[in-house]
Structure formats: C-alpha cells, structure tokens
Structure 1
Amino acid sequence: MSNEALRQELVELDKKHFIHPTSSLQEQQEKGPSIIFDRAEGVHVYDINGKKYLEGMASLWNVNIGYGRKELAEVAKEQLEKCAYVNSFSGFSNEPAIRLAAKIAEITPGDLNAVFFTSGGSESNDSAYKLVRHYWKAKGKPEKTKIVARKRAYHGVASGSTSATGIEPFHDFTTSLAPGFVHVDPDDPEAFRKLIEEEGADTIAAFLTEPVQGAGGVNFPKEGYLQEIRKICDEHDILFIADEVINGFGRTGKMFASEHFGIVPDVLLLAKGISSGYIQLGAVVIREKLHKDLIEHSPGVLMHGFTYSGHATACAVGLKNIEILENENMVENSRVMGDLLGEKLKELQKETDIVGEVRHLGLLGAVEIVKDQETGERFAEKLTPKIVAEARERGLILRNVVYWEKDTIVYSPPLCMTEEDVNEFASILKEAILEVQKSL
C-alpha cells in the first residue's frame, strides 16, 4: 500500500471512529486529521508522508527530553516483563514507585517530601483539591473548602480542574461547574486580600497558581507577586498550591519554576515533563508538615486513589527520564538555548512590523502580534492563527492563544534544542510572520 493510500484509509477511519480532544468535530469531518504523525526523533516529528516538522511545542508542553530516546523504551520493556503493574492500594508497593517518590522528594524545593502518584495533570489537580480539603477537615476546620485560582489560569479538564481553570471557553463547554472555586485578578495580590476579607479566611482551603501561566498565554507573574501571595497565605492559614504541570522538570531553565521566585509551595502538582510524555504519569507532592499532620490527624483510610497510582512501569520510565535530564544537563541547556531563542525572536521586532512583546523563561515563551509596536494596539482580526498555519506549512509546529484581547504565539520546544535547532525555529517563524504581514 502506498503512503497516500494508507493516509486516505487512516483519514476515513479517523473521521468515523476517533473523537479528538480539544478539536473541532465539524472540521474533523470536513477535513480529517490535520497531520498524521508517524515517527519522531530529537526535536523533530515526521508525518506519514515523511514531511519533517520542528516540534515547537514539545507536543503538549511535555516532551522535555526530546523524541526517540531508546533508554525509556528499554526500561519500560524491562519493567513490563518483570512486573508491569501491581496496585498500590492497601499498603501494596513496588520498587520503581518507591524510588521515584524518593527522587522527587530529593529534587523538589524545600521540604516537599511526600508524593501521591496520578496519571496526569488533571488528576494531579483534582487530587490536590481533595487532599487539601481533607487536610483541613482532619485538622478540625471542615469549613475551609474554597480553592482560590487566578483568572487566565489553566489547570485541566476533569470536573474540579475545569472549575479551577480561569479560561471561560472551558467553563462554557459544560453546564455544571463544581462548587467551591473562586477566581481572582491574576496580577494584583491585593485582590486576594480583598477576597479573603469578603469570603473569610476560615472558608478558604488553598490558593492555586501556575508560577508561569501556560495555556493562558505564557503569562509571567509581576515582580514580587508570588512572594506576596505566599506571605498572605501564611498570614491567613491558607495552603499554597503550585501547579507546575507545564513549568516543571527544566522547562523554565530551573528544575521547577518555583525556584525562580524563591518560594516553597505547600503542595506541588506535577505531570508532563515527569515522563516527557513517554508514558502517562503525574504526581502531587506535599510538604513534610502536611504529611505528618495527615498521619497524626487522619488515622483512617485515605479514601482517594486511582487504579494506576504508582504504576510500576510508569514510575520506572519517570526515573529514567529524570536521570537523562540530570545527566545530560538539560535544565541548564533549557536556560542557555532559551536565552538564545529569546534574543533571536526579539530581533523580529526590528525585522517585522507586527511583533510586539517577546517574553520567555528557559524554553517557555510567547510572541505577541500587534498592529502598533509602540502602543501595543491589536489588529481587529486575530493574526496568530494565520501565522501558526504558515509556520506549520514551513515545518514548525506552534500554538496560538486568542482568548480575551490576546493575539499570542506560544512555544515550548524540547529541552534538547541545539543552536542549529534555534536558528531553524527563528528562521521559519520569521518567514511565517512576514508572509502574513504582506497580506495586511
């Protein structure tokens, strides 16, 4: 069968049977899948016809070590053959889960020492909400139930994590959001203070934030914001949850983004880069005091757990993934290549007429498209969908954010980027922007 015949067969099967996440059902039926991927290596992916793309998003912000690492396949095979899976309920355990929990405790900030495993970011978020509410109940404060999250935040698509997300289209999709979630201004810590006055600190379980907001547009906190929020939480006996599902495992040029801001959250949420997307895995990490308090004040069964919590094969892959990150100095490479890419993208402000602010931390960044570079005025029509489409045609995969007033290109390539990859990325994006600019 020729590649084209195979592609056509797969397109028809896809249209008939595969409901795609976060995709247009109608567009899928009209056009079929936009790309059918076949293989991948390093920072590049290839479609079924052999076309090569630089994966400027590391798929979904998560393939941190890059594609095609046989070490992960080998460790997975070894564990699958030895003991693929045993459950972790009722005190059962396995060596990969134990060792990965210990490794996470070693590399996370401060005294974040105890780990609950999940299969992904949404599960990590929902688990954290339940755990902090249970914590306060165990401490004799069952009225502390509210989760305060920031507007523009993305925390997942399970029932609780959708409700915590501060992006309206995710709310509009469903008719029933979970109660107990409140959203505040994402930049002003005084808005949080005011909310505490209105709601009462005795009703608030936790403040939830991504240190750097990802899917909402790669938004960085204003200087001192997170430190002030940490202070407010301490003053009012409110737990601080850092969602580092996107930020973690070297993405920002440090192992965890919280380190950039000198804060230690009470609860740290992980997924994505924990396994670089090679297998489903996530985690909730809590500080030593919370762990000890739960042991002391909650002596019964912890009535929360997933079938695949502490999955032996997933944890073995996670361990090997972290080993590669450390041994190949990929966190530092993220910082160095991130700075280089950021400099090259800032040059586009001079080389084009429509590039506004360029911001980044490590290999996590955004490029704003504007009508006026001086004032930041936007075009009436969003241009980033066209730019992203042009870049894809030229072999660079990116995403755009057009919520609110934004017209933003976001990027998060694998952390194994080289200078050659950076040059390829910047060159293609420049071509795509200039092509769209010509049509204005």
Structure 2
Amino acid sequence: MQSLSNPFIHINPFKSTIYNNLKKNTTKLKIPLLKFPGIIGHSTSRVNRLYNDDTFSMNMLRGIYGPNSTEPVLNLSLFDGHGFDGKACSNLLASKLHLQLVEDINPTKESFFQLLQRYATEVGGAYWNKLYENRDQFYTKFIKNCNTKQEQVLFDSEQHGSRMLFDKFGNLIDKNSLLNEYTRLKIFETFLQFDLDRCCNLQGGSTASSIYISPLNPQSKDENDESFIVDPPGLLKLVVTQVGDSRIIICDSQGQAHNLSQPHHPSNKRESQRLGHIMDPPDLDAFGQSRFLNNYANTRSFGDIAAKRHGLSAEPDIYSYLVGNTKHLPYSEVSKLQFGGNECFIMMVTDGVTDLLSDQECVDLVTTTVNLRGMKIATPQYAANEVIEFITTIATRDADNATCLLLRLPNWGNWPALDRTGAAREAKLLKS
C-alpha cells in the first residue's frame, strides 16, 4: 500500500517538457521535494537571533479530500516558533501535523463537538466554554459554510451556464465548492486536536501557514503519477490554511503580488470581535504595536498554554482559489479566476521577511533576480536564497528569523520586465 504522506514526488519524465531529454528506458523518477530546485526553493536564516525557530515541511499527501480520495496533493507548510519552547513546537508541527491530517480517521460533527467539550473541560476559560455552548452555530458558520474562505470556481458547462454567486464578503453561495464539508471538518479537527494533545504542554508556541495544491481535473489515470506540479496541464486547486501571521503571496502574470490570507494580529478587526472584551482595547508594546494579553504578537497559534484559556487558539482560517494554466479555458471563463490565471509563483515567508519587505517588494525581488540572472541560473532555489540574503543584509540588530519557500507555477519567468519597488529596496540597502 502506498504511503499517505511522503517527502518525494514521483514523476513520469515523458509528460514534462523539462525532462523530455531523458532516455526512454526510464519510466518513473522519485525526487526528494527538498532537492527539486527547479520547482521548489527554500531558504532560512536565524538572521540576528541566537537560534532559528523557523521550520518548514514539504510532502505529497493523499486522502485529505475524502475517506476514499487518492488524488495527490502537494503540501508546503511554514512554522514560526516563538517563546521558550518555540523550536520544539515548530519542529513538532513540521514533522507530525501533516501525518495526522492524512490519518485514516473519518471526523464527524459529533467527534468535533466532543473535542470542543474537551477544550472547555481541560483548558477551561470563558472563551472555550462559550464556544462549546454555541457549537452548533460555530459549526454552521466556520465548517459547513466556511465563513472565512475565499473561493473562486468555474461554472460547469453541463449546467448550461449556471454561475456561482458570492456575497459581499467573498463567500460562495452555492452547494458546489472547491472544498467539501468533510475536508473543512478534517482540517479544523486535526488542527485543534493536534494542539490540545501535543502542544498544550508547551510554554512557547508556533504559527502554521500551509498550502495544498492539486489538479482541478486530474489528467492522468495513474494514481502514482504526481507530475502535475512539474508541468501542470490545466487549472490547479489551491487551498490555504492560516494560523498566525506568516505571509502567503501569489505573483500573477503581470508580476503583481496578492496576499492569500489574513494575519491573526491583535489589531485585526475580526480577531477583536472573536476575543471580545479581552481585546478592548488591545495592549501596545514599547514600539506601539498591538499585543494580545500584553505579550503575544498573534492571537492564534499552536502551543502557548498560558494564553490558551483566554482564546489564543489553533483554529485555522481556510481559503481556496483556482490558479494555473488557462490554455484550455474559453476566454469568457478566464475573467472569473481570482488572479486572472497563468500565475507565476507562490511565495511563503515568515514575519522576519515581511517585517522588512512589503508583499510587492518580495515578489519584485524574485522577478528581478530571475530577469538579471536568467531562468537557467535563477531557479526558485536560487531566488529563495537571494530573498534571505537580502533580508540578512538590511536586517537590524533585533531582526527576527527569516524563511522563504518558493513554488514555481506554470507561468514562471513570463512576467513583464518591470520592477515596481526597486527604488524602495535600494533605499533600504543604502540605509543598512
């Protein structure tokens, strides 16, 4: 039986133009995801801290879209540890969270309610007691209807042109969606159970930001073929989960940056509403930045047991998008895609990067690196290294750890020769 999770990608070399020069006696390649520089780049540095509490993971998963699902899903995750046990927490998440997500256990509404009851009993506090009392409303809002997701889907031509409708918040008003109730429940239950069972003994904690990417319509009948990420023939289903404040950025075909999730900062209006009187008004540190309970930069994380009873939670926000190759789409359908299709890359960075660079500066740093060095040299791995090297150059004495993951998408390298933030980055270099 094939493993439900592995750090490798299996590809058929004859389905990708990148590998069309291989000999025909080779039928399958098994490539470690960490050693695939032409597709995935990764770089990390402690910068000016004594230790590096950032970690990340890359895995090919199966089984997260249903109990009988076998479609391959590429998962990249970024974890930013903090506090006394921060490194232990981020390492634990990197090595174990994805395994629990693909365990052969089918979550139910009843098992989720039992988990919330455990929080109310074992963690305690007004936040969890109130959440358990209002469990039915919570389930309907955040799992059945997934209030926090932003979803874009194409209409099914077999439905004679029926279109998906969205409310003013971007929520899908339709029974069809990229994520079904089962998957959203599995993500929620996995995150909360992992936090309660494995992280709530830790004084420190960690953020967790993940992407899950798979073909919208798999082309291959071979269940072991995972080559979709090398040369995607069509649209890709992109799911994002967010706990904390690491950034997930997508670069569109025009080289423009788009943020795919919202940070869980004390200044976030929705977080203020979630936490109620505890956040009214939010505490400010010596630098004038909002802090939760006068200590925490984020209102959601794994671990951080001292703040757990007050509502510092591992509840994930879930977002989903359609991205990728639009070659086989009618022109009229392309306009329905969130970012216009033919996106260039996805970038995942911890706050050690985004404290010093805006989203557009991050994207421009990658595109200009490729423009200057050429695509044969400036692979995603090379570009990720350049991002972290730039951060270490401009970092102040108290700068945080910095990590960058870079995933190549079908339109890599085809952005305009335009650097929108070059002057701003040059000013930061001169100042450093």
TM-score of the alignment, normalized to the shorter chain, above 0.5:
no
Normalising by structure 1, report the TM-score: 0.28
Task: Return the structure number with greater helix share.
Answer: 1
